[in-house]
Amino acid sequence: MARLFGTDGVRGVANIDLTPDLLVRIGSAAAAFFGTSLSRKPSILCGIDPRISSGMLEAALAAGICAGGGNVTRLGVVTTPAIAYLVKDLGADAGAMISASHNPYEYNGVKFFSRDGYKLGDESEQRLEALIRSTEKPAYVTGANIGAIETDLEAHDSYVDHLVRSAARSFRGVRMVIDCANGASSMISPRTFRRLGAEVYVINNQPNGLNINVDCGSTHPAQLQKAVLEHNAHIGLAHDGDADRLIVVDETGKVLDGDYIMAICGLHMLRKGELHENTVVATVMSNLGLDIAMRKAGGRVVKAAVGDKYVLEMMRREGHNLGGEQSGHLIFSDFSTTGDGILTGIQLINVMKETNSPLSRLARQMQRLPQVLLNVQVERIERYHANPRIALAIDDAEDELLGRGRVLVRASGTEPLVRVMVEAEDEEQAQSVANKLAEAIRKELA
């Protein structure tokens, strides 16, 4: 069995990598893991996104938890950040979210949250994985020790109340479009912004199990750009499948990624004296334009490894309250324990309302350096590591940039991809260097 936990839980193709048998084993191990220090059955919340395999995998996970001596509360289709919030709000011992986030519908995954609403850290995931692997047959309980399953489809109401409370003022007068990616936000996000008083138009909010993230949402914002212009909207929000990330479109139709959102919110918080240590936590993937914008205003950017849980670990360790990724995972730790696309949209509109500024003007506070991102499909991701020819190609790319740019090549933690990022003062040079690197990787691994 290959390593289970990647950068964001267990992820794979449903019924190939992620089978019901495996989910039963994960469930029984989770019951033992979260119940270790308890004198009673652990209570574990379970939410899903609407992809076709989620119900099947939820049934298997819940069966495993009960067989291992834990109780399960099914919350139905909810967003990942809703699980993080509700674990604490409902006093549960843990939460499990079945989702593959922005990945195609064929994929699925499971990520766990501890009783304090935070994703499990690497050490905890390693201990849980050791339990999953420890026996050929899971240790099942019997009699009265078997767990029970209950369903609570109204629990997310308190999460929506929490989101509404995070707004600084009414959003009356804001005209917006929300792209729900045919995912978990399809009911929750429009409902939240309408409660805040905004005029809301919604697209891609009819999930059928197969259309999640298909040509829509945060990874494909073209539909949203068109809809923003058609409705003369002030802003467009693009969620991903489980709504833990957000990409936005301004009133001119321009796409703004997580770096722009961090710059806008970070600079606003800095001016108000609300940005702890005057610092934003980003990752090595973030554009240098974010560093420059924060530095000019008297702030700074520190870098964590790629993955929102690593951003959060640095935020908690060093006491920062804003961090995120270029991909749109933003963490406002004054309000949330994880990345939350709906909450991010609320905080961004807060800035627009408080400054009485259109989004395009706020975005001009950051000048993005040309950056090229390429995803190279590979057959066996493990062959990427320590490949001498790829290492030589990376060295050659760095030499070509002569210190006037940077190169970052990394294996994806969720898909069989090698991600290539090249940043340079000149866009043509960045594209050329990235293409050469991608071709070298394809030659070795495709």
DSSP per-residue codes, 214-256: TT-GGG-THHHHHHHHHTT-SEEEEE-TTSS-EEEEETTS-EE
Catalytic residue status for 39: no
Reduced to 3 states (helix: H, G, I; strand: E, B; else coil), residue 403 is coil
pLDDT confidence band for 2 (50 / 70 / 90): low
pLDDT confidence band for 166 (50 / 70 / 90): very high
Domain range enclosing 407: 371-445
Same domain assignment for residues 320 and 403: no
In Å, how far are 187, 241, 330, 342, 431 from 113, measured between CA atoms? 23, 18, 17, 19, 39
Beta strands in 140-220 (DSSP E): 149-151, 175-179, 199-203
Same domain assignment for residues 73 and 139: yes
Amino acid 247: pLDDT: 98
| Average confidence (pLDDT) over 259-263 | 98
Identify the domain boundary among 157, 184, 217. Answer: 157
Asked whether the beta carbons of 124 and 429 are under 8 A apart, the reply is no
R_g of the chain, CA atoms, integer Å? 22
Identify the domain boundary among 205, 233, 253. Answer: 253
Reduced to 3 states (helix: H, G, I; strand: E, B; else coil), residue 75 is strand
Same domain assignment for residues 401 and 355: no
Please tell me which residue, 306 or 106, carries the higher pLDDT value: 106
Asked whether the beta carbons of 228 and 177 are under 8 A apart, the reply is yes
Reduced to 3 states (helix: H, G, I; strand: E, B; else coil), residue 405 is strand
Which residues have C-beta within 8 Å of that of residue 313, sequence separation ≥ 6? 121, 304
Same domain assignment for residues 393 and 364: no
Same domain assignment for residues 32 and 88: yes
Pairing verdict, β 235-239 and 246-250: antiparallel
**What letter would DSSP give residue 331?**
E
Per the DSSP assignment, residues forming a β-bridge with 341 are none
- In one letter, which amino acid is 199? E
Same domain assignment for residues 19 and 60: yes
What CATH number is attached to the domain comprising 388?
3.30.310.50
Amino acid 1: pLDDT: 55
Dist. CA 78–CA 176, nearest whole Å: 22
Per the listing, tokens 């195609």 go with 104
* Structural domain contains residue 149: yes
Q: How many CB atoms lie within 10 A of CB 252?
A: 12
pLDDT confidence band for 307 (50 / 70 / 90): confident
Least confident interval from 174-183, 231-240, 421-430: 421-430
pLDDT confidence band for 401 (50 / 70 / 90): confident
With 0-12 / 13-18 / 19 or more C-beta atoms within 10 angstroms meaning exposed / middle / buried, residue 116 is exposed
Least confident interval from 39-48, 259-268, 361-370, 404-413: 404-413
Q: Where are the alpha helices (DSSP H) in 246-329?
A: 258-271, 288-296, 308-318
In Å, how far are 7, 101, 313 from 122, measured between CA atoms? 9, 19, 10
Mean pLDDT value across the chain: 94
Same domain assignment for residues 313 and 359: yes
* Structural domain contains residue 162: no
Please tell me which residue, 240 or 403, carries the higher pLDDT value: 240
Same domain assignment for residues 248 and 287: no
Amino acid 411: pLDDT: 83
Dist. CA 362–CA 360, nearest whole Å: 5
Asked whether the beta carbons of 101 and 12 are under 8 A apart, the reply is no
Please tell me which residue, 414 or 352, carries the higher pLDDT value: 352
Identify the domain boundary among 211, 238, 253. Answer: 253
Please tell me which residue, 148 or 139, carries the higher pLDDT value: 148
pTM here? Answer: 0.88
Beta strands in 296-404 (DSSP E): 300-304, 322-324, 330-332, 371-377
Amino acid 444: pLDDT: 82
Q: What is the pLDDT of residues 268-292, one digit of tens each?
A: 999 999 999 999 999 988 998 999 8
User: Of the ranges 120-129, 145-154, 370-379, which is most confident?
Assistant: 145-154
Dist. CA 48–CA 31, nearest whole Å: 18
* Structural domain contains residue 164: no
Same domain assignment for residues 134 and 16: yes
Q: What percent of the chain has pLDDT over 90?
A: 80
The answer on pLDDT for 382 being more than 80 is no
The answer on pLDDT for 106 being more than 90 is yes
Which listed residue (53, 101, 218, 336) is catalytic? 101
Same domain assignment for residues 293 and 415: no
Dist. CA 407–CA 404, nearest whole Å: 10
Which residues have C-beta within 8 Å of that of residue 302, sequence separation ≥ 6? 279, 280, 281, 282, 314, 318, 320
Q: What is the pLDDT of residues 357-380, one digit of tens each?
A: 999 999 999 998 888 999 988 877
* Structural domain contains residue 113: yes
Query: Shortest CA distance to 163 belongs to which of 304, 350, 327, 294?
Result: 350
Say how many domains are in the chain.
4
Amino acid 59: pLDDT: 98
Q: What is the pLDDT of residues 13-46, one digit of tens each?
A: 999 999 999 999 999 999 999 999 899 999 999 9
What CATH number is attached to the domain comprising 58?
3.40.120.10
pLDDT confidence band for 436 (50 / 70 / 90): very high
Amino acid 412: pLDDT: 81
Same domain assignment for residues 112 and 37: yes
Q: How many CB atoms lie within 10 A of CB 408?
A: 16
Q: What percent of the chain has pLDDT over 70?
A: 98
Same domain assignment for residues 23 and 126: yes
Q: What is the pLDDT of residues 73-98, one digit of tens each?
A: 999 999 999 999 999 999 999 999 99
Amino acid 119: pLDDT: 94
